[in-house]
Amino acid sequence: MKYDYLIVGAGPFGAVFAHEAMKCNKTCLVIDKRNHIGGNIYTEQVEDINVHKYGAHIFHTNDKEVWEYVNRFATFNRYTNSPIANFNGEIYNLPFNMNTFYRLWGVSDPKEAEQIIETQRLKCDDPQNLEEQALSLVGRDIYEKLIKGYTEKQWGRDCKDLPAFIIKRLPVRFTWDNNYFNDQYQGIPVGGYTPIIEKLLEGSEVRLNTDYFAQREYFDQIATKTVYTGMLDEFYNYQFGPLEYRTLRFDSEILDQPNFQGNAVVNYTDKETPFTRIIEHKHFEFGTQPKTVVTREYSKEYENGDEPYYPVNDQRNNARYLSYKGLVESEQNIIFGGRLAEYKYYDMWQIVRNSLDAARKELKEAQK
Ligand code: FAD
Ligand code: UDP
């Protein structure tokens, strides 16, 4: 055994774990099948702009320790996510707040907005699917213009066939506050996310373009323990059947103009526009470069060989995940973590939190 830990995946889960292990003088080999570190939070400079290669990534959390942890590796700017929605050319503020209600119904009194929503609301204590959840939260107008089209493009499923929790992520406010998140801490690392991962991986050996499954026997004897952040079904050879994902196609272009849409994120919420959103990367860092880079996001069902971006946490997939989880519990020398191995729709802060917790538990045990 050459290394203390083999870490499969150089995304934030793997990188935080490697850093914590390295601080305890453990040796780590980090492998990734991609040609770069960072997983889905990878950023790359194009025209002097930090481009979020795998979709917009805004760091936000209520967890003070996680916030202080990431701030050790980067300076975060004051970016506050305030996406715009474009519904057939009509422009609305997100998340749903007084600016949205004023544009929809011409009301500027919060009580009036509440009354309109109250008359449209589905009265239902225990919403069973995303449509019921949305209708009971914000009523018919908002559901039809700002939720239904976007959600059905994003997930490729009818809103009645999607779990309610997906939409609970979106705030509804009767104030004029366009902040997409309720969290206390928010920002974008100045210089992008990749330098954070580089710093976290200092002291570890990193091998890129290296797929664990291409040399599984070799990797299984190279370290005392393995930290696995890839797909759980693949690890177990799909023996209970594949877990479903949504994948994205990112269509990026450089435009010879300083400002394309005036905002980092514009969602296209009608069902006819084939993409879900356009990201204009420079606005994450208040860029003043002469050119701009924009990316259109197209969502589709995952097929073998695609990148698995979003787990589809409906009942059938969750049940299948639990079968795999049964196998995980009997493993001695493998730690499973991250969005793919846990098959959960985690944000970055949860990944940092979970990886820190896993590393601390493990390293305490390793010291016994
Ligand atoms: P990943 O970042 O996916 O890293 C896993 C790594 O493992 C990958 O690099 C992969 O190549 C590698 N790997 C997998 N299998 C193998 C194998 N067999 N061999 C070798 N390597 C392997 N979070 C936020 O907090 N804010 C946001 O605004 C936000 N926006 C998002 C937008 C999009 C479009 C997406 C897809 C996600 C977004 N997220 C956001 C979530 C964020 O990307 C994840 O929480 C985070 O990347 C998960 O980290 P991870 O280390 O678990 O996985
Ligand atoms: N959503 C929506 N309209 C929007 C933005 C989001 O209906 O304009 C719904 C959609 O179902 C989406 C979910 O809210 O999947 C979560 O949105 P978020 O922006 O948090 O998703 P992510 O950035 O993770 O893709």
pLDDT, mean of residues 336-349: 97
CA of 227 to the centre of ligand 2 (A): 30
Has residue 100 got a pLDDT over 80? yes
Residue with tokens 């979020």: 52
Measured in angstroms, how far is the CA atom of residue 10 from the centroid of ligand 1? 9
pLDDT of residue 93: 98
Tokens representing residue 265 in the block: 């994120």
Q: Which of 210, 147, 207, 138 is nearest to 174 (CA)?
A: 138
- Token pair in block for residue 42: 């990878």
Cα 108 from chain centroid (whole Å):
34
CATH of 3-37+201-244+311-366, one of 3.30.565.10, 3.40.50.720, 3.90.550.10, 3.20.20.80: 3.40.50.720
Query: Rounded distance, CA 78 to CA 88, Å?
Result: 31
- Length of the chain as a residue count: 368
- pLDDT tens, residue by residue, 161-192: 999 989 876 789 999 999 999 999 999 999 99
Other CB atoms within a 10 A radius of the CB of residue 367 amount to: 7
Cβ distance 230 to 14 under 8 Å?
A: no
Residue 1 confidence class, pLDDT cut points 50, 70, 90:
confident
> CA 197 to CA 213: how far, in whole Å?
23
Catalytic residue among 109, 118, 158, 169: 169
Q: Terminus-to-terminus CA distance in the chain, angstroms?
A: 20
| Helix, strand, coil percentages, rounded to 5, for the chain | 35, 20, 40
Average pLDDT over residues 275-290: 98
Check pLDDT > 90 for residue 6: yes
Distance CA 306, CA 155 (A): 16
CA of 198 to the centre of ligand 1 (A): 16
The answer on pLDDT for 197 being more than 90 is yes
Mean per-residue pLDDT, 333-353: 97
* Amino acid 240: pLDDT: 98
pLDDT tens figures, 287-342: 999 999 999 999 999 999 999 999 998 889 999 999 999 999 999 999 999 999 99
Q: Tell me what the mean pLDDT of segment 35-40 comes to.
A: 98
Q: What are the structural domain ranges in the chain?
A: 3-37+201-244+311-366, 103-166
| 320 has catalytic annotation | no
Write the single-letter amino acid at 136.
S
Q: What is the mean pLDDT of residues 141-153?
A: 98
User: pTM here?
Assistant: 0.97
Residue nearest ligand 2's atom 11 by CA: 151
Question: Looking at the CA of 79, which ligand is closest?
Answer: 1
From the number of C-beta atoms within 10 Å of its C-beta (0-12, 13-18, 19+), residue 200 rates as: buried
Q: What is the pLDDT of residues 198-211, one digit of tens each?
A: 999 999 999 999 99
Is cis: bond before 95, omega within 30 of 0? yes
Instruction: Enumerate residues lining ligand 2, CB below 6 A.
Output: 85, 94, 146-147, 150-151, 154, 166-167, 169-170, 267, 269
Percent of the chain with pLDDT over 70: 100
For residue 120, pLDDT beyond 90: yes
In this structure, are residues 150 and 267 in contact, taking their beta carbons and an 8 Å threshold? yes
In the three-class reduction of DSSP (H, G, I as helix; E, B as strand; rest coil), residue 125 is classed as coil
Query: Does the structure show a pLDDT above 90 at 366?
Result: no
pLDDT band at 149 (very low <50, low <70, confident <90, very high): very high
Written as one string, the DSSP assignment of 237-287 is TTTT-PPPEEEEEEEEEEESSS-SSSSSEEEE-SSSSSSSEEEEGGGGGT-
Helices (H), 180-247: 194-200, 216-220, 232-235
Predicted local confidence at residue 178, as pLDDT: 98
pLDDT band at 285 (very low <50, low <70, confident <90, very high): very high
H or E element, residue 327: helix 315-328
34 tagged catalytic = no
Atom of ligand 1 nearest to the CA of 14: 51
Residue 25 has pLDDT above 80, yes or no: yes
Q: What is the mean pLDDT of the chain?
A: 96
